[in-house]
Amino acid sequence: MPPESDSTGRLHSLPEGYRALVIGAGGGIGRAFCEHLRTDPRCARVHGLGRRGQPGLDFEDPASIESAAQALNDGQAWHVLIVASGILHGPDLRPEKRLADLDAQAFSKVLAINTVGPALVLRHFLPLLPRGPQARSFVGLLSAKVGSIGDNRLGGWMAYRASKAALNMVVKTTAIELARTHKALVLAALHPGTVRTALSEPFNGQALGRDPMEATAQMLAVMDALQPEDSGSFRAYDGEVLPW
């Protein structure tokens, strides 16, 4: 278990002058991550990315992911990469209550945004992180406890659950590969809990959820406490190891 959450959201274990990338900076959780990192005096630069950012990055446009990584390759290492994007619902998309609600087009969209897009981020952005045996860095991808196969006791929400379960496998598999080349890097799937954002709002999230600043401070504290041997794990906002 990590130490008590640092409400400042600072990453004490990274080098002075560390640099951070936040993908999904236009969402409630992404904005909160950016705010915490920008107020850390030890953080030299924070760059938020999204569809409306510069450079633009859209998970439904794979070429934009590669282009964004190329644009941010300025010869200096980035030490933090956070993927805070995700989709649960939309104008023509609602989580399924039963198998009969499954729609192929909606399922494909959820997988593209929640799984394929983050996997391509890892492919194109990880070369921007330091590789040395003492070059500590963090990569955190927002997953969800409902993506746990072992914890699924209610059913429903098939596309969302499947996309997060697949994301967890991407994290685990990538961590095994990176352990050979980035020995001080920590890669983790992070469950934020219920947070007061647009994603959770239709599901009573405004009443049940936590403030995004609180949730992101907790997740940053979890990341700060993880060690390279923890890379590839699935962690809740309080540091609990979640079942796959």
pLDDT digits (tens, 9 = 90+) for 109-123: 999 999 999 999 999
> What residue ranges do the domains of the chain occupy?
18-236
Pairing of strands 18-23, 43-49: parallel
User: Would you state the pLDDT for residue 201?
Assistant: 61
More confidently predicted of 198 and 161: 161
Cα(192)–Cα(98) distance, rounded to whole angstroms? 25
User: Would you state the pLDDT for residue 143?
Assistant: 97
Rg over alpha carbons for the chain, rounded to the nearest Å, is 17
With a CB cutoff of 8 Å and minimum separation 6, the contacts of 54 are: none
CA atoms 210, 216, 220, 226: torsion sign: positive
Q: Give the DSSP H/E element, type plus range, for residue 188.
A: strand 185-191
pLDDT-derived band at 206, boundaries 50, 70, 90: low
Cα(194)–Cα(203) distance, rounded to whole angstroms? 10
User: Would you state the pLDDT for residue 10?
Assistant: 86
With a CB cutoff of 8 Å and minimum separation 6, the contacts of 177 are: none
Mean pLDDT taken over the chain: 91
Q: What's the chain's length in residues? A: 244
1 has a pLDDT exceeding 50: no
8 has a pLDDT exceeding 70: no
Alpha helices in the chain (DSSP H): 28-38, 62-71, 104-111, 117-125, 158-178, 205-208, 212-225
Q: Are the beta carbons of 138 and 79 closer than 8 angstroms?
A: yes
58 has a pLDDT exceeding 90: yes
Cα(228)–Cα(201) distance, rounded to whole angstroms? 35
Residue in the block written with tokens 């859209």: 58
Q: Are the beta carbons of 95 and 79 closer than 8 angstroms?
A: no
What CATH number belongs to 18-236?
3.40.50.720
Q: Which residue type does 137 have?
A: S
Rounded to two decimals, the pTM is: 0.91
User: Would you state the pLDDT for residue 200?
Assistant: 57
